[in-house]
Amino acid sequence: MQNPELIILPVLFLSLFGMVFGISYMRNKENMALIDKGINPRLHRAKLTPRPFISLKFGLLMAGVGLGLLLAFFADQNLVNHRVIGYDGHPYYRDYPQIYLSLIGLFGGLGLVISYLIEKKYWMDEKPLE
């Protein structure tokens, strides 16, 4: 085959269609099994996923991402040398997106760990071990 790029688009669309079809097919089978047992699927799904700390989790995640972006901006502006001399002797300016990605991931993960510790402390205080 001369152009392997021509096969990427049809394979992408077929994979996407297969994934959506598979998810909807399996959800339908699960719902039918629950109905056969006499269980309402909407009520059953709502009971399976209680999330009392979801606002805390996403709030700390967003705060961590914001803090990571802010620190990455300050590090990018003040700590990194953007002006680089090329091989031909002319200066050019480099960007360092690695700083942004790493600090967003680091502080976002730190926010999730803090959320986990708060939840763990709450559940340990609420339900003491006997």
Written as one string, the DSSP assignment of the chain is ---GGGGHHHHHHHHHHHHHHHHHHHHHHHHHHHHHTT--HHHHHHHH---TTHHHHHHHHHHHHHHHHHHHHHHHHHTS--EEE-TTS-EEE---HHHHHHHHHHHHHHHHHHHHHHHHHHHHHHS---
Strand partners, 22: none
- Hey, how many other C-beta atoms are within 10 angstroms of the C-beta on 60? 21
- On whether both 33 and 80 belong to a single domain, the answer is no
Which pLDDT belongs to residue 20? 95
Using CA atoms of 34, 36, 39, 40 in order, give the dihedral in degrees to the nearest 10: 80
- On whether both 61 and 113 belong to a single domain, the answer is yes
Render pLDDT for 8-28 as a digit per residue (tens, 0 to 9).
888 999 999 999 999 999 999
Which pLDDT belongs to residue 14? 94
Domain that holds residue 27: 4-47
The answer, yes or no, to whether residue 118 has pLDDT greater than 50, is yes
Domain boundary among 15, 30, 47: 47
- On whether both 88 and 107 belong to a single domain, the answer is yes
- On whether both 17 and 61 belong to a single domain, the answer is no
Q: Sorting pLDDT into bands at 50, 70 and 90, what band is 6?
A: confident
The answer, yes or no, to whether residue 130 has pLDDT greater than 50, is no
- On whether both 30 and 16 belong to a single domain, the answer is yes
- On whether both 25 and 66 belong to a single domain, the answer is no
- Hey, how many other C-beta atoms are within 10 angstroms of the C-beta on 96? 14
Which pLDDT belongs to residue 49? 59
Render pLDDT for 86-109 as a digit per residue (tens, 0 to 9).
788 888 777 788 889 999 999 999
The answer, yes or no, to whether residue 128 has pLDDT greater than 60, is no
Instruction: Report the predicted TM-score, pTM, of the whole model to 2 decimal places.
Output: 0.56
Render pLDDT for 55-68 as a digit per residue (tens, 0 to 9).
899 999 999 999 99
State the total domains in the chain: 2
- On whether both 11 and 37 belong to a single domain, the answer is yes
- On whether both 38 and 57 belong to a single domain, the answer is no
- On whether both 88 and 120 belong to a single domain, the answer is yes
- On whether both 18 and 60 belong to a single domain, the answer is no
Which pLDDT belongs to residue 122? 86
- On whether both 42 and 98 belong to a single domain, the answer is no
